[in-house]
Structures are given as structure tokens and as C-alpha cells.
Amino acid sequence: MILTMLAVFLGHVLLGLPLFIALLTTALVGFFFVDPSMIPRMMPQQYFGGINVFSLMAIPLFILAGNLMNVSGLTERLMGLARLLVGHFRGGMGHVNVVSSVFFAGVNGSAVADTSALGSLLVPAMEREGYSRAFAAGLTAGSSLIGPIIPPSIFMILYASLTNTSVGDLFLAGVIPGLLLGVAFMAMNAWYAWRNGLPKRGQLPKARELGLAAVAALPALVAPFIIVAGIVMGVVTPTESGALTALYVALCGIVLGGLRLPQFWQAIVDTSRLTSAIFLIMAASATISWLLSYAQVPAQFVSLLSPYIDNAFLILLMLSAITFITGMFMEEVSSLMLLTPIFTPVAMMAGIDPVHLGIVITLNITIALITPPMGACVFVAAAVSRLEIVSLFRTIWPFVLTAIAVQLLLILFPPLTLWLPHVLG
């Protein structure tokens, strides 16, 4: 059954059919193996039931907040602050790229949006500073991985809805790993700048300049604290937090003069398109997830790994490897929706904290955004930098390996993810 479903799915993907159709056809084949009489009753029920979850409403709201930041000019204010903070170092524009991703991650939660918003501005600027276009595009795609790790995170909201894990704990757990990713990419950029003899540009900013830039960017910097503090303190749900953040960003854009009706409408349209694509995939993935659960596939997976169940580190390493390989060939949302219900029982038996598991899975799913052949962020970075996609895929591997090194560090040292939730959660 599993092999047949996998073959059907891969066949549809190779034919170029939309992903949600490939997933639904795969589910249909699976129902024929299990019980064909369930098709007219259970397929529609599970398809709509998979997205009929109130907490998932947070996803379009956070996406809207990020889009409103872009069209209202708040993103440029964040980049201006980042430029003053780190732009005077050797390889300054590369550091600006990473720090801007950290700032932008605090509102949007989408790596693809990060690559699109920042790449078109920063790749040409990095080229003017002496970077190769391939490295500039690779660093833009790589640093965008910070987006789904630092809260808010679309992937974490999905994981929480599948496992009944606290969204607030997951958001807190993502802060340190996200910052570690940022430090790793900045170290990589510093090495590139030193090896290629890139000059220092600009001078150490004066306190007044830095203060003015911080004040200008303050409206955007406040948004992440609204999100995390509200959820962690129990004042708002994730969905209410998303609505509050979108409203706050919209008001900031109106007051500061960057948001007008055409820009607002464009943000609504972009949000609707992306949300529709995500929810279609989620609904189809939920149908397959229910079918696999009904067919006792998670229990079979548990029995398969039972000889290693006493070694939590080995179990987590194996689950990470499976997630990473799956993510290379399958869209990230569907990978998360399909694998989480199968992996969670194994992790619980091995004594792995569900918050720690969530961060590890989220990072693995995120890394797949820059791996061939399906890496969405690489396609976006190639488009904004006008590079051949094959050329960029050849040069992306150092960034992939850097992210994997951070992942291994998180697996080896769980306190890196669990400390903040234990202290503040």
C-alpha cells in the first residue's frame, strides 16, 4: 500500500500536476487499499476537517502582517537599522542581509517571503560591494531559513495543531536556534569577506545616527514582542495575536504614511494567494495523514524503531534524517503534515520533549527550502538575482551544511531549545 501510494505521488509530481491534486489522488489510491466504501464519506470529511481548525487562522494573519510590512516601508526601516549596526564591518552588506532576516523573521514567519522581500534589494547591494552574485543569492536564501525558526512560525503553528503542543512554548524555543543560525551565517559571511579581501565600507555609526534609525525602526521591532508576549502570557491566542499584529502593522503603515489603499489591497491579494495554496496542500495532506493513521502506519513505524527506543539521541537523529530527505522531494507543508503524526508516538516513547521535537522537525523542514530539487527559496533567490537555477543549486551546499551543523548542535544539546520555555513559559 505505502509503496503504491508513493509511486502514484511521485508519478503525479513528475507529470507536473498541482501538488494538492497529487496528494488527493494518492489518498484516493490508499482508500482503495483500505476500504473503497469509505471514499465518499471520509475523504470529504477529512479534507475539510484538516483545515477546520481555529488556530490555523493565525497563518494568513501573520502572512498578512509580513506583507503589510513590505508594502508600507517598514521592512526598509529594519534594513536601515541593520545597515548601521553591522554595515561598517568587513563584508558589511552580507551581515546586513543576515541581521535583516532576523528582524524580518519576527513578524512574517515565512522563508520564501523573506527571500523575496530582501533579495531584490540586498543582492544588487552585495554585488556592488564585491560579492559574487551566486554567494549573495545563496546567503539571501540561506539566511531566510531564520524566518520559520524565530517566532512567529507557520511551521510551528502547524506542528502545534497536530500535536497539541503549546504554541507559546514552541515560539520561545525557536528564539535561540534562530539566533544561532544567524550567528553561523554571519561567521560564514565573515570568512568569505576575509578570503576574498572585501574592504570595509563606512564608519562606526554615531550614537545619534543609531538612535534615529532605532526610533524609525521601532514600530516594526515592537511587533515580535506583541506576538510572543501576548501568547506566552496567555493574554491572546495565536489567532488573536496574528490579528492584533496585522492590525498594529496596518496602523503603523497608515500613521507613517507608507500604506495607502492600493498597497493595502496588494497585501490582501498576495496573502490570499499564498494562504490558498498552503491550505489546499494542508487539507490534502490531512486526508493522507488520517488514512495512514487508520491503517496503523504510525504503530508499524514505532515497532520498526523499537530496538533503538532507549536511545533518544539516535531516534532524534534518525527522524531528522528522514525529515531532511523527505523535504528534499516533497513540499514542506505536506512533509510536516504527513510526518508529524507518524514521528510523534516514536519520540514520546523515546522520552523526547515534544517542544524539542517540534524545533528539530521545523528546522529540518526549513532546510529543505534551500536543497535541490524542490528548494523554493533557491528558486526565488535565482529569480530576484537573475541567476540560472542549476548554477545556484551548485553553490548552495555550504549554506545547507551550515544549517545542518546548527541542527546537529540542537540535537546534541536540547537545553538550547528548552531553556527559554522552561524559564518564561
Residue 396 and residue 425: Cα distance in Å, rounded?
A: 36
Residue 143 near residue 185, CB atoms below 8 Å: yes
3-state secondary structure of 386: coil
Question: What cell does 80 get?
Answer: 536601515
Residue 425 and residue 422: Cα distance in Å, rounded?
A: 6
Q: How far apart are the first and last CA of the chain?
A: 42
91: left (phi over 0), alpha (psi -120 to 50) or beta: left
Within 8 A by CB and 6+ apart from 390, the residues are none
Spatial CA neighbour of 264 closest among 242, 249, 278, 281: 249
Residue 205 and residue 211: Cα distance in Å, rounded?
A: 10
Residue 376 and residue 372: Cα distance in Å, rounded?
A: 9
Question: What cell does 143 get?
Answer: 539566511
> What is the reported pLDDT for 87?
83
Residue 47 and residue 30: Cα distance in Å, rounded?
A: 14
Residue 72 near residue 249, CB atoms below 8 Å: yes
Spatial CA neighbour of 397 closest among 130, 178, 135: 135
Per residue in 202-248, pLDDT tens?
677 888 888 888 888 888 888 888 888 888 788 888 888 889 989 99
Question: In the predicted model, is pLDDT for residue 425 greater than 70?
Answer: no
> What is the reported pLDDT for 391?
80
**Alpha-carbon distance values, 25 to 16, 37, 285, 328 (Å):** 14, 16, 11, 21
Task: State the residue for C-alpha cell 500535536.
Answer: 163
**DSSP conformational letter for 308:** G
Residue 358 near residue 170, CB atoms below 8 Å: yes
Residue 340 and residue 362: Cα distance in Å, rounded?
A: 10
Question: What cell does 1 get?
Answer: 500500500
Helix (H) or strand (E) holding 1: none
Average pLDDT on 332-344 reads 86
Per residue in 240-298, pLDDT tens?
888 998 999 999 989 887 788 888 999 999 889 888 888 888 888 888 888 887 887 77
Spatial CA neighbour of 257 closest among 68, 70, 72, 66: 72
| CA angle 186–187–190, rounded 5-degree value | 85
DSSP per-residue codes, 96-126: HHHHHHHHHHTT---HHHHHHHHHHHHHHHH
What is the residue-averaged pLDDT of the chain?
86
Residue 73 and residue 258: Cα distance in Å, rounded?
A: 6
Per residue in 67-94, pLDDT tens?
888 888 888 888 888 888 888 888 888 9
Domain boundaries defined on the chain: 42-424
Per residue in 25-44, pLDDT tens?
888 888 888 888 888 888 88
Within 8 A by CB and 6+ apart from 242, the residues are 57, 58, 59, 60, 61, 62, 64, 65, 152, 227
Helices 154-163 & 261-294, crossing angle to 10 degrees? Answer: 30
Spatial CA neighbour of 184 closest among 149, 221, 151: 149
67 φ/ψ angles, rounded to the nearest 5 degrees: -65, -40
Residue 292 and residue 6: Cα distance in Å, rounded?
A: 12
Residue 342 near residue 298, CB atoms below 8 Å: yes
Per residue in 348-399, pLDDT tens?
888 999 999 999 999 998 998 888 877 788 888 888 888 888 788 888 899 9
